[in-house]
Homo-oligomer: A and B are copies of this chain.
Amino acid sequence: MPPGSNVTADDVAAEAGVSRWTVNRAFKKDASISARSREKVMQAAERLGYVPDLRAASLASDRSNLVALLVDDFANPHKLVMMERLTRVMRREGWDTLLVNTLDKADAGPALINASQRRVDAVILIGLQFDDEVLAAAQHARRFPKLLIFARSSANPDTISIAVDDVSAMKEIAAYVDARGYRRPMFVAGPRTSSAHLLRKETFRDYWIERHGRRPDCVNVDAYDPALSGAAVEAALAGRGADLPDVLVCENDALAIGAIDILRHRLGLRVPEDIAVTGFDDIPQADSLNYQLTTYRQPLTEMAEYLVEVLNSSETRDFSRIFEGRLIERASA
């Protein structure tokens, strides 16, 4: 079947002895059509190898059932987990996913325009949030789609955020670390982008200041990349002699894993005996024998299902919602 020869609904209509509209109705979920003619149509379609053209459908109906997934951070294994969960749930509900690699920070705007040209119904950011400039670009885009932030909280009223409560989650981690008797924590933070991104770090800091009157040490990493995290931690600990922290509280698992590798293999320290480590996300590796990382799990499936609800809804209210995660206690802290 060469690319040129397109079977259209008209062909199927002729084959089945019905009108073109009946053919297309046969492929709609709950269209007004009798079982008998649907059957006839389906058989004819099968014979001819017909499948409806979603481009045309989308053009005519002004709904694409397509969402853009913007990802800028492929070094973080958690992205893979989130992609899997999202695409699985979305596909089941008839939503397709446009994967857009936001090459770098400056590229977020063009990436958004790119998606906009396909007339996506929504744009999803996973694990990060829109810069204000990007948001402005989005608003300017001719067809302003829903802007969803998955697995990150955001205070921006123009976006819908589906995430766990960073504040209460981090408080739980802090309380856990505190209760375990650790007294010299160091926070390992990811890249500093805008506003709410710092929530976890600030929450931990505030907690510690309130309880112990001291501001915990902190190290910043430029990306959620285990290799970079390791390097940053090593640099931070170099030259401190015996004055080491007793626990590294990491903004997420990607950072934690890089830190653990460095502690063990470069600094010759044991985890958790010499330095404990906590993460966030509960990526698959966190549960591996090698890391046994104490971390915090978000209910991703539940969140993904809610996200699809939001996609399916035509209301325009603010759908932002906070989910309950839970601390996963393992050997690393």
Contacts and interface: CB of A to CB of B under 8 A. Distances in A.
Interface of A: 1-4, 6-7, 48-56, 58-59, 62, 64, 66, 69, 74-75, 77, 79-81, 83-84, 87-88, 91-92, 96-101, 103, 111, 113-114, 116-119, 139-145, 226-227, 230, 258, 260-262, 264-266, 284-285, 287-290
Nearest to A53: B119
Copies of the chain in the assembly: 2
Contacts of A111: 91
Contact of A49 (B62, B83, B140, B265): B140
A161 B96 CA distance: 25
Max count, chain B CB within 10 A of own CB: residue among A53, A77, A227, A261:
A53
Contact of A101 (B1, B87, B98): B87
Contacts of A141: 1, 49, 51
A261 to B, nearest CB: 5
Contacts of A7: 142
Given A98-B98, A227-B287, A261-B288, 17 more contacts: A1-B139, A1-B142, A3-B144, A6-B142, A54-B119, A74-B81, A79-B80, A80-B80, A87-B101, A91-B100, A91-B101, A92-B103, A96-B114, A97-B101, A99-B99, A230-B288, A258-B288
Contacts of A118: 54-55, 66, 96
A99 B142 contact: no
Contact of A80 (B48, B77, B260): B77
Nearest to A97: B99
A267 to B, nearest CB: 10
A161 to B, nearest CB: 20
A313 to B, nearest CB: 13
Given A88-B101, A284-B227, A289-B262, A55 B51 contact: no
A56 B57 CA distance: 11
A294 B300 CA distance: 34
